[in-house]
Amino acid sequence: MSDQASPAEDAAPDTSNRALLRERDFLLFWVARFVSTLGVQIQSVALGWQVYDIARRTHTVGESAFMVSMIGLAQFLPLFLLTLAAGETADRRTRKLIVAVTLGLDAISAGVLLALTLSGSHQLWPIFTVSVAFGASRAFLSPASSAMGPMLVPRPLLPRAIAWNSLSWQAGSIAGPALGGLLLIHSSATAFGASFALYLLAALLALMIRKPTKPEAQPGSRMALIKEGLAYVWNNKIVFGSISLDLFAVILGGATALLPVFAKDVLHIGPGGFGLLRAAPAIGACVVGVYLASQPIRRHAGRIMFAGVAVFGLATAIFGLSKFEWLSVGALAVLGGADMLSVYVRQTLVQIVTPDAMRGRVAAVSGVFIGASNELGEVESGAAAWLLGPIGAAVFGGVGAMAVTALWAFLFPELRKADRLE
């Protein structure tokens, strides 16, 4: 017999979009992610508008903007406290069940917000209480969902699957704010009711996944496994550098927390315009996401990621200075596209270098950083708006994000020199 490999054995694996679309469980996961993102975005639009509207009855613009930012802090605190334990849980338990249960808890949160709205309550403390509960459920959802995705596709398809997975989130982030703005025109209750239904649908889709999503059992105590995950992130400079860059850049450049203020008191464009502003970053991100899904990055990944973060900061500063709706929407679209580019590179690098048995814990640490960047970014933006005004806060954040990019490029040369996403 000949020792030569057959042509079929020599052939490269199929990594096309068509091959990805043949993966039934990944498609279910993709749709569930889109539907749940749609629910989150609708709820976020309605929640931000409702809190700002209630606060403006008795407070100034700056004080009301700060109260809107407190929604992010309320969600981040349980995320920070629970995420490491949640990551360890995702590396021991069936991941699709964790996803389904947490989505069901999200539905309960939306249902409570619906009940509060229908009751005519004008108090903020119940809303912040629900936000804390929502943050707790998301603490467990994020690492389980991030770790489950790579289990549903062959490894050669992973970079393309990550691009499509990001695209599902961005597609929901486009449709969600726009739909949320339209639903707000009718009522906040309608928006919260829509989120409730979407969370339940996403949970059902997750339960329909057939592939096993329970990782191999890991020896050691819960605390030992958590320490192992933290040590891995700290010692792997590509992982640590990429997620910490996202943390500090987005904390400083988190202009989206100020969108209710810009819509109502700077650009004067009302709830419909607010929905458009909320959708603009996702529109830009979706355009870039579609391109990356068809043309994945082949070379110079690290430099491309740093360039994306720098453009993100520049677009944030331009948004802050804009007095025109069209320019504000355009700047937010560029901001979203640049963020999508950097997120795609970061997620692909982290997923490729991390073994499956540790993905839940690494995703948990990443989730803490991402949660801190999003939620603490809202707090920073609210506090800066209180001190500098909304325009000054956005400009300060954009310039700060560009400065962080330059500093991280110096501190993490391994990340800057990262080349192929393989």
Q: How far apart are CA 49 and CA 272, in angstroms?
A: 11
What is the arithmetic mean of pLDDT over 131-145? 91
User: Are 402 and 313 contacting, i.e. CB atoms less than 8 angstroms apart?
Assistant: yes
Residue type present at position 135: G
pTM of the model: 0.71
* Alpha carbon distance 315, 252 (integer Å): 13
Closest-CA residue to 150 (of 337, 298, 329, 362):
362
Please provide the DSSP assignment of 319-369 as one string.
HHH--SHHHHHHHHHHHHHHHHHHHHHHHHHHHHHS-GGGHHHHHHHHHHH
Longest Cα–Cα distance in the chain: 86
The CA distances from residue 110 to 44, 134, 173, 326, in Å, are 10, 9, 18, 32
pLDDT digits (tens, 9 = 90+) for 315-343: 999 998 998 888 999 999 999 899 888 88
Predicted pLDDT of residue 287: 87
First to last CA, the chain: 34
- pLDDT the model gives residue 330: 94
Instruction: Look up residue 111 and give its two tokens.
Output: 């249902």
Residue 358, pLDDT above cutoff 80: no
The domain limits of the chain are: 23-207+220-416
The pLDDT score that the predictor gives to residue 169 is 76
Average pLDDT over residues 126-136: 92
**Mean per-residue pLDDT, 258-278:** 81
Predicted confidence at residue 74, as pLDDT, reads 87
pLDDT tens-digit profile of 38-69?
999 899 889 888 888 888 787 777 778 778 87
Q: By the 8 A CB rule, do 36 and 198 touch?
A: yes
pLDDT digit string, tens, across residues 362-402: 877 777 776 666 666 666 677 777 788 888 888 888 898 89
Give the span between the Cα atoms of 284 and 49, in whole angstroms: 23
Which pLDDT belongs to residue 154?
Answer: 87
Question: What is the Cα–Cα distance from 269 to 181, expressed in whole angstroms?
Answer: 12
Band of pLDDT at residue 301, cut at 50, 70 and 90: confident
What does the pLDDT read at residue 106? 96
pLDDT of residue 113: 94
Can you tell me the distance from the alpha carbon of 338 to that of 313, in angstroms, rounded to the nearest whole number? Answer: 9
| Chain centroid, CA 310 distance in Å | 19
pLDDT single digits (tens) 406-416: 999 999 888 88
As to burial, measured by CB atoms within 10 angstroms (0-12 exposed, 13-18 middle, 19+ buried), residue 355 is exposed
Pick the CATH number of 23-207+220-416 from 3.30.110.40, 1.20.120.1200, 1.20.1250.20, 1.20.120.420: 1.20.1250.20
What is the pLDDT, as a whole number, of residue 201?
97
CA-to-CA dists, residue 329 to 145, 269, 278, 320, angstroms: 31, 12, 9, 11
Question: What does the pLDDT average to over 289-302?
Answer: 80
Q: E-strand spans in 82-130?
A: none
300, pLDDT greater than 80: yes
Count of CB atoms situated within 10 Å of the CB of 326 = 8
Q: Using 50, 70 and 90 to split pLDDT, how confident is the model at 95? A: very high
If DSSP codes are grouped into helix, strand and coil, which group holds residue 392?
A: helix
Average pLDDT for 227-235: 79
On the question of pLDDT at 2 being above 60, the answer is no
pLDDT in tens, 171-223: 777 678 778 888 988 888 999 999 999 999 999 999 999 998 888 766 666 67
Q: Is 70 exceeded by the pLDDT of residue 271?
A: yes
Model pLDDT for residues 7-27, shown as the tens digit of each residue:
444 556 777 778 888 889 999
What pLDDT is stored for residue 3 in this prediction? 46
98-118 per-position pLDDT tens digit: 999 999 999 999 999 999 989
pLDDT at residue 62, as a whole number = 72
Task: Determine the average pLDDT of the residues in 152-161.
Answer: 83
Stretch 236-261: mean pLDDT, rounded?
78
In whole angstroms, give the CA distance from residue 324 to residue 329: 9
Percentage of the chain beyond pLDDT 90 is 25
* HEC secondary structure over 153-218: CCHHHHHHHHHHHHHHHHHHHHHHHHHHHHHHHHCHHHHHHHHHHHHHHHHHHHHCCCCCCCCCCC
Per-chain mean pLDDT for the chain:
83
